[in-house]
Amino acid sequence: MRRKDRQIEDKNEIESILQKADVCRIAMCDGNIPYIVPMNYGYSDGCIYLHCAKEGRKLDVIAANNNVCFEVDIDHELVVPQDASHCTMKYRSVIGRGKAFIVESAQEKVKALNLLMEHYTGRSGYEFPEKMLDVTGVIKIQIEEMTGKKLGY
């Protein structure tokens, strides 16, 4: 990281950002073309879980190359001093990379979908009908590396 003074080294602070963000951007490489998608997600135990349709470009790209990058950010605040040349943005963010896998097991899908529900509602323990699980895709990103960065916090 170029700006070491902005680096977040505390793993708990990095995980706190992952728990608070609303959107996770997933970047993939479709051949030699970058492809990025903002998604809802859940995070637990070094993995990000995403739900999706059971077919589509994301799944095709992951099947060809499961290396992904992700980004989340929170606490944005524009800081505008009298001199506009010194404008800045306060923020906290996490960027990481890992391997994406399609979740096949119904048990792991239920776990992942409960993580997503808990992320957005604060509650878990939902039950999902088998018919719904059959038509719902779940992507699991096993995080290999992530770093945090902040300014103004």
pLDDT in tens, 3-45: 666 689 899 999 999 999 999 999 999 999 999 999 999 999 9
Nearest-5° Cα angle at 89, 87 to 92: 160
Give residue 135's domain range: 4-151
Q: What is the mean pLDDT of residues 103-131?
A: 94
Calculate the average pLDDT of the chain.
93
Residue type at position 53 = A
User: Over the chain, what HEC string results?
Assistant: CCCHHHEECCHHHHHHHHHHCCCEEEEEEECCEEEEEEECCEEECCEEEEEECCCCHHHHHHHHCCEEEEEEEEEEEEECCCCHHHCEEEEEEEEEEEEEEECCCHHHHHHHHHHHHHHHHCCCCCCCCHHHHHHCEEEEEEEEEEEEEEECC
Closest CA to 113 of 142, 143, 134: 134
CATH number at residue 124: 2.30.110.10
Q: What share of the chain has pLDDT > 90, as a percent?
A: 82
- In this structure, are strands 47-52 and 137-151 parallel, antiparallel, or unpaired? antiparallel
The total number of structural domains that make up the chain: 1
Check: CB of residue 25 under 8 Å from CB of residue 38.
yes
- For residues 44-63, average pLDDT: 95
What residue type is 75 in one-letter code? D
